[in-house]
A and B are shown apart, each in its own frame.
Chain A
């Protein structure tokens, strides 16, 4: 029944490794997002896809690569992890044009880079 799900919930890894976070939404929404929330709790958008097309690509190192195999999934792959990548990563979705315009968030993935 979970609307927006992410895996894994926790990810602890060494510097220099490559890792992926997966996101799925069962709301039928056409737009999905990746956000990074740092230790100061600032929520910053990273990427957005609409119907599998990249529409927002903020100033994010190119070690981060999003992939949307279909409109229900948006994965995030991170190469050569650095200490500064430690944060909570949230996936979100919304339906463009819907009256509410609200975004639905997943539970977050806490990434710790050692």
Chain B
């Protein structure tokens, strides 16, 4: 069956460290993968998109990698801040390129 898995346990890190979140998938060949941030009581907010032919994408303190052989994307936040605390969701495009399939998300807490 087709699955997307993200670290189910919450990630707690110290301010200033790099947070690394994992998204693994099986039985998909996605054209691209997206990362979103969701704060409590709010809708997801888009952060980054990485295409199947891209290895890495950066935006300010954020970096995403995409390994289609391992079927894995890693999401890094460098120099993390307490304001980065949120749930991070990965989503990939599947099913004739018409819908996103979502992971359950990983909760990140950055401690001051």
Q: Across the two chains, which residue of chain B brings its CB closest to A42?
A: B104
| Count of chain B residues with a beta carbon within 8 Å of a chain A beta carbon | 19
Question: B105, A102: Cβ atoms under 8 Å?
Answer: no
Q: Could you tell me which B residues sit within 8 Å of A by CB distance? A: 32, 34, 41-46, 49, 87, 89, 91, 93, 98-100, 102, 104-105
A108 interface residue (CB < 8 Å to B): yes
- A45, B43: Cβ atoms closer than 8 Å: no
Closest 7 CB pairs of A and B: A105-B43, A102-B46, A43-B102, A90-B43, A105-B44, A45-B99, A56-B99
Determine the distance from Cα of A101 to Cα of B93 in the docked complex, in whole angstroms. 10
CA distance A103 to B99 in the complex (A): 11
A24-48 contact mask (Cβ, 8 Å, vs B): 1 or 0: 0000000000000000111111001
CB neighbours (8 Å) of A104 from chain B are 46
Does A12 interact with chain B (Cβ within 8 Å)?
no
Which of A40, A55, A105 has most chain B Cβ within 10 Å?
A105
Q: Can you show 14 pairs from A to B with CB atoms below 8 A apart?
A: A4-B43, A40-B104, A41-B104, A42-B102, A43-B89, A45-B100, A48-B98, A90-B43, A101-B32, A101-B93, A103-B44, A105-B43, A107-B42, A108-B42
